[in-house]
Every structure is written in structure tokens, then in C-alpha cells.
Structure 1
């Protein structure tokens, strides 16, 4: 009887150990699969960044880059998941595998070695938006003024790189998104906002109380960014993007959102 009990105890221990081991392996496999699902392209984007990515009145995600990403996924033969992210958390989202790429007016310049990039698809500039009656007409006029930028944006990088310009401001503030910045500008809490040119065009469209300064802060290019070293997915996406240039998809999207073809990516 004692021998029987010992044998049964041993069987139970072995069974529990194997069960736990199997559960552990299953969990790890599931995690790995969720981060490397070749049938879904998970696109990270800022949902407060019109005209590249934003929510329309119906609560649907739309925008130039959103539509381009959808067309790209279709060309690749995969599903797409649109994942809104906090822009200042984009690196963490990419490194953790929550998203596969960052596709939302994402500037290469200054970040060349930090990510794996597609070829550029758009040229862009950093500009200042001010009130039309502010008396501010040049960048030099921003001396002793309150200036805002989006946190972790290219505009923030450009200003931080120009120490003399930054030191000339009375106050320099980073905010979460450009909608907040525009409200501050409208209320008088800010005198100027540094932002992407095409975003500035969208934010000031039909609003005569605002204007974009002619003088540019910096020039740059947009591309799709992937985790450093992920050339496999980059190559797949870039191949599909080039097909979109060749078949006219990109030209149609560009005309829709900007009134002209601003895409610089070649079909070759």
C-alpha cells in the first residue's frame, strides 16, 4: 500500500510538472505569435495629426497616411490594424512589438540611425503658425514670445538644435498634441506654434485669424519607420508602396488631401 501511494504521488508530481511546462511553452508561443503575425500589419499613428492621421466626425480613423497604409496592406495581401499611440511613447510601442511600424508624418532627419526606414515618400518643412494680427512676420519677431511645440516632434528637435532661437523665446512649452496648441494660440496663451508645414496648412484652412510664416524653420522628409534591423518587413512595405506609385494610388491620395501630387517616392 505504501509503495502504491509513493508511485501515485510520483505520477502526480510528474504530471503537474509536465502540465506547467506545457502551459509555459504555450504562453510564450502565443506571445511570439502576436508580435510576429505575418497576416496583420499593425500601424502606429498619432490620431491628432491631420491630415495624416485623425478621427473624422463619425469616429473613423482617416487621413493621407491612414489611407496609404490601408492600400499598402491590401497590396501586401494582409490585414491591417490601426493602433493610435501617444507620440512620446512611440519608441516603447515599437520595441515592445505592440506596433509593427510608425506611419504618420514620421520624419527621417535626425533619426536616421534610430530606426529602419523606407525610402522617403514626401518632403516637408517645419514652420511657425501665428495669429494674423499678431505683428509677427518673421522668425526674428518671435523674440520674447511664448512658443509651443508637440512633445517629441520634429519641430521640437529643430528648435532644440537652434539654441540661440530657443533662448530668444520668453517661454517655450511642449504640449501633447497640436489641437491643444492651436487652442492655446487662439486663446492667447501661446504666440506661435512650430509644426509640420502640411499640418499647418490643415490647421489654418478656412481660418483667417491664423497665418503661416513664410520663413521656414527646417526642411525634412517623411518615411515609414520600423524597429532597427527589421529590414524584412520594411522591404515588403516599400515594395507595396512603390507599386502604389506605379499604379497611381499614391497620386490619387495626394490629390485628395493636398490638391496636388506631393509624393516623391519613385516606382523603381
Structure 2
């Protein structure tokens, strides 16, 4: 068999070109990883709750808050490091410097003088009440469901719930304060609690998973606005960069698109327009 020098040389050139391409891609990927790790880290605290902040099948954090934070950090030049914290200890983690930034924090007038540095609110929602589809209940004040109301201990929703109950009835209804939303949801689904309090987006997901089983009361506890909060000792330049990124993402519709991905009913983006914050 004769060896065709021309064909052999062409194959060698083709193989060499493919090898160079693979090497170039590998170098580019390595350069990207090096660039990412070279960025200053931003420790972002949040509490686990679907669809905002949770782990996927690979054990990586994902959700609405995660995607918004990742994109904001990318634009601002930071490497996000997510820290999972208990709902009732969010502000303490920030004040103690265990995290640089508290994502999904309540931005309202009550917290205006707390010393935190706030970004513009990126999401707006209602704290709602979920009950059984056949429940006769229509308002919190005359809740007749057996088993009381399940809510996350130490959360702003719990604070709002107790304030509303005390103000309207002067007495404490049967409130089950649970260590996490998963526990509160389980107590409600299994029938240990007759009502569940939480963010409307979260409650809609439960209704989607259990069709024709539950409904939300028209009665709402409060409309909330969520922002990213930075500690008073945090470099103000960092806060300003993230705030600028959030504003740009809202104006471009990026925040709205991220939220639509996780809302099964597409009931609304919950995006807050500039100038609408409390």
C-alpha cells in the first residue's frame, strides 16, 4: 500500500487545527474561571424558600433572588457567595458582619432609620393567606379553619400576622410559628394547620402543585417591597454599584423576565416601578 503524502499532510494539518481549537477553548475557559475568582467576593445572605432561594438537583443555589443577585453582581463586578441563614436571624447576620448584603429584605418606612444602606426595591408582592378550597373563611378576623395559622417564626410575615390579630381581636389566635417555611407548609398540607401565611408567589406555587385543593383569601396582610440591604459599615461604593445594576435591570425588563420564569401562573412580575417605593 502506497502512502499518500499529500493526504497524510492534510490530515495532520486538520488534526493540528482541531487540537489548537480545543486548546484555545480550554485556555479561554480557564481564563474565564481565573477572571471570575479574581473578582471581589460579595457574601449574600438569604433564607431558603421556593421559588426565591433554594438548591437545585446539583446542590447549587438557584431561584428568583439568586438569578437577580447573580446578574447584578456580574454587572457590578463582584463574585456572589450565597450564605443560607435562618429567617429569624437575617438582620443579625448583617449587623454582625457575617454577610455583606441581605437579599430579599423588606424595604419600607419602618426600616428607614435602621442604619442599613438600601438598594432600590426590585420586587413587590403581597403577604397572603392560603386555606383549603372548601374552607368557609373569607377574612383573617373570622378565620374558622381548624388547627390555627402556620407561619415562619421570626419572619416579617409572622410580625404582620400577630399585629393584625392583636389589633382586630385583642387576643392571640392559634398561631403555629415554625422554624422554616418548609415546616409551615408541611403543617398546612398535612392538615395540622388550617391556614398558611406567606408570599403570594410562594402560595401560588403550592396551589399549582395541588390543583383544586387550596385558594388564597382576598384578604391580604400587607403589600411588601423587597430590596438588597447592606450593613452600615459596608463600603458605600459596593452598595451604589449593586443599586445601579438593579435599577438598570428593572428598566431593561431583566428582573421581570427572571420572575416570569419561576411563576407557574404568570400572574404578574411583581416588579416595582421607580418612584413607587414606600
TM-score range, shorter chain: 0.7 to 0.9
C-alpha contact 2:125 2:270 (8 A) present in aligned 1: no
1:122 maps to 2:123: yes
Q: Supply the RMSD in Å over aligned alpha carbons.
A: 2.4
Alignment partner, residue 10 of structure 1: none
SS in 1 for 2:129: strand
Unaligned runs of 5+ in 2: 1-37
For residue 188 of structure 1, the aligned residue among 165, 179, 191 is: 191
Alignment partner, residue 246 of structure 2: 241
C-alpha contact 1:52 1:63 (8 A) present in aligned 2: yes
Distance 1:169 1:161, change over 3 A: closer
Distance 1:144 1:98, change over 3 A: same
1:175 maps to 2:178: yes
Distance 1:170 1:96, change over 3 A: closer
Alignment partner, residue 83 of structure 2: 83
C-alpha contact 2:137 2:145 (8 A) present in aligned 1: no
SS in 2 for 1:139: coil
Structural mapping, 1:35-54, within 5 Å: 39-47=40-48, 49-54=49-54
The size of the alignment, in residue pairs, is 229
Alignment partner, residue 205 of structure 1: 208
- Alpha-carbon distance, 1:133 to partner: 2.3
Alignment partner, residue 255 of structure 1: 260
C-alpha contact 2:152 2:181 (8 A) present in aligned 1: yes
- Alpha-carbon distance, 1:226 to partner: 1.5
User: Aligned equivalents of 1:167 and 1:142: distance in 2?
Assistant: 15
User: Aligned equivalents of 1:157 and 1:197: distance in 2?
Assistant: 17
User: Aligned equivalents of 1:242 and 1:98: distance in 2?
Assistant: 26
SS in 1 for 2:183: helix
SS in 1 for 2:106: coil
Unaligned runs of 5+ in 1: 1-36
Q: TM-score, normalised to structure 2's length?
A: 0.74
SS in 2 for 1:183: helix
User: Aligned equivalents of 2:209 and 2:140: distance in 1?
Assistant: 23
C-alpha contact 1:67 1:253 (8 A) present in aligned 2: yes
- Alpha-carbon distance, 1:206 to partner: 2.8
User: Aligned equivalents of 1:152 and 1:38: distance in 2?
Assistant: 34
C-alpha contact 2:39 2:77 (8 A) present in aligned 1: no
Distance 1:185 1:79, change over 3 A: same
Deviations 1:14-53 (A, max 9, x none): xxxxxxxxxxxxxxxxxxxxxxx98111110112x11111
- Alpha-carbon distance, 1:225 to partner: 1.3
C-alpha contact 1:159 1:165 (8 A) present in aligned 2: no
